[in-house]
A = this chain, B = another copy of it.
Amino acid sequence: MKCSVIKIPAGAPHDMSGLKASAEEGLFRPEEVVAVLGKTEGNGCVNDFTRGYAVMALKDFFAGAVKGGAADISYVMSGGTEGVLSPHFTVISRSGQAGLASERERDQDQSQDQEQGLITGGPKSLAIGVARTRDFLPEELGRLSQVDAVAEAVARAVRDAGITSLQDVHFVQIKCPLLTAEQIYDAHSRQVSLVTEDTYKSMGYSRGASALGAAAALGEVERSALREEEIGVNWDKFSRVASTSAGSELACCEVIVFGNSQSAEGQYHIDHAVMQDAIDGAALQGLLDRYPGEELVQVLAKAEADPDGVIRGRRHIMLDDSDINHTRHARAVVGGVLAYVGGDPMIYVSGGGEHQGPKGGGPVAAVFRRR
* A57 interface contact, C-beta 8 A: yes
A12 within 8 A of B: yes
- A83's contact among B41, B47, B81, B329, by CB below 8 Å, is which? B329
A182 proximity list for chain B (CB < 8 A): 11, 309, 315
Nearest chain B CB to A219 CB, angstrom units = 29
Interface flags, A317-341, vs B, CB<8A=1, else 0: 1111111110011101111110111
Determine how many copies of this chain the complex contains: 4
Query: With A320-B199, A340-B337 given, is the CB distance from A329 to B9 under 8 Å?
Result: no
A323 touching B320 in the complex, CB below 8 Å, given contacts A278-B336, A330-B83, A333-B84 = no
Given A84-B311, A312-B345, A333-B336, also A322-B281 (CB < 8 A): no
State whether A336 touches B345 (Cβ < 8 A): no
Q: Which of B46, B52, B180, B308 contacts A188 (CB 8 A)?
A: B308
* Contact pick for A53, options B56, B315, B334, B344, CB 8 Å: B56
Number of A residues contacting the other chain (C-beta, 8 Å)?
76
Residues of chain B within 8 A (CB-CB) of A279 are: 84, 336, 339-340, 345
Say which residue of B12, B82, B312 sits within 8 Å of A324 (CB atoms).
B82
Q: Is A49 an interface residue (CB 8 A)?
A: yes
A200 to B325, CA, bound (A): 11
Do A314 and B47 touch (CB < 8 A)? no
Point out residues on A near B: beta carbons under 8 Å: 9, 11-14, 41-43, 45-50, 52-53, 56-57, 81-87, 180-182, 184-185, 188, 197-201, 248, 278-282, 307-312, 314-325, 328-330, 332-337, 339-341, 343-346
